Amino acid sequence: MKCRVCRAPAVLDIRRHNAAFCRDHFLKHCAEQVRRSIKDHDMISAGERVVVAVSGGKDSLALWDMLIGLGYDADGLYLGLGIGEYSDASGHTARVFAHERGLKLHEVDLAGEFGYDIPGAAAATHRAPCGACGLSKRHLFNAVAIEHGYDVVATGHNLDDEAAVLLGNVLRWETGYLGRQHPVLPEAPGFARKVKPLYRLGERETAAYCVLRGLDYQVEECPMAEGNRHLGYKDVLNALEDRSAGAKAAFVFGFVDRAHERFTDDAGAEREGLGACVVCRSPTTGDVCAFCRLRERVASRSGPSR
């Protein structure tokens, strides 16, 4: 196996590109995919400030590293979700990464600042933890960006994540979600722009990127996500990819390029006519936003001691 660019021995092959790369050309390939995603979708303009949501995992650390390498002004944001040792270790990894490079990392601790954690929220809502977790993340990524004047929130969603979410949305024809599933969600009053610059890279590639760059990342996945629907979709998509290299990329890129716009009316309507939450001032359709309602619900269940 030889590098497609320089013919030196390759360290990694990417079947869907029908190509192999040496270390340096693989790293360049990754940066080029990210540069291209940013450019094609106008994700970040010159001079804009970016906050990268960093979980301590491979994707978000690779993303932060690449954005800095491409010359962007990018700070980090870590949310302490209170998922036992998993959260302790991921926070530590994110902090070390930032400290070693002299980068700024914002930290928000759910329990310390909002009085609940994800296991508590799951118990109070009698739902899978990922629902409360996703809601808390979306709310706080945006709230921190607005509070600190960032133009853009970048997350580490990769090709595998996007393919799994897309499959889930298509299987249930969630037209509103399909309208909002895009590498860029534009800014709106009360909302920073949301971007996913890694949507062209698979998780095998982001893991290899970290290893080849010597980035120490949290290998363990969230223990509460075990058995959730998305992991099932990922298995199905991996089986498809095994039979037909490039299936995931064709599924996601085809949606982004040719189908997404057919669903934007369904999504757009939901963002219009929003008022401000009476508790936290975030945009919401009702009086109290979903995040504040979740907080209230967990607090009332835990009783007066909290």
**117 near ligand AMP (CB under 6 A):** no
Nearer to ligand FES, 117 or 241 (CB): 117
Nearer to ligand FES, 225 or 280 (CB): 225
* Shortest distance in whole angstroms from residue 230 CB to ligand FES: 11
Residues 217-246 touching ligand FES, rule: CB under 6 A, are: 222, 224-225
Distance between CA atoms of residues 293 and 306, nearest Å: 16
117 binds, among Zn ion, ligand AMP, ligand FES, none (CB under 5 to 8 A by kind): none
157 binds, among ligand AMP, Zn ion, ligand FES, none (CB under 5 to 8 A by kind): ligand AMP
Nearer to Zn ion, 125 or 228 (CB): 125
* Shortest distance in whole angstroms from residue 118 CB to ligand FES: 5
DSSP reduced 3-state for 110: helix
Number of residues that bind ligand FES (CB under 6 A): 8
Letter string b/e over residues 232-260, b meaning 16 or more CB atoms within 10 A of that residue's CB: ebbeebeeebeeeeebbbebbbebbeeeb
User: Which residues make Cβ contacts (< 8 Å) with residue 93, sequence separation at least 6?
Assistant: 56, 61, 216, 217, 218
DSSP reduced 3-state for 70: coil
Q: Give the alpha-carbon dihedral of 108, 110, 114, 119, to 10 degrees.
A: 170
Residues 102-161 touching ligand FES, rule: CB under 6 A, are: 118, 129-130, 133
**79 near ligand AMP (CB under 6 A):** yes
- Which helix (H) or strand (E) segment holds residue 106: the answer is strand 105-109
**157 near ligand AMP (CB under 6 A):** yes
- Whole-angstrom CA distances from 141 to 40, 79, 181 are 24, 9, 17
Nearer to ligand FES, 14 or 133 (CB): 133
Q: Which residues here bind ligand FES, judged by CB under 6 A? A: 83, 118, 129-130, 133, 222, 224-225
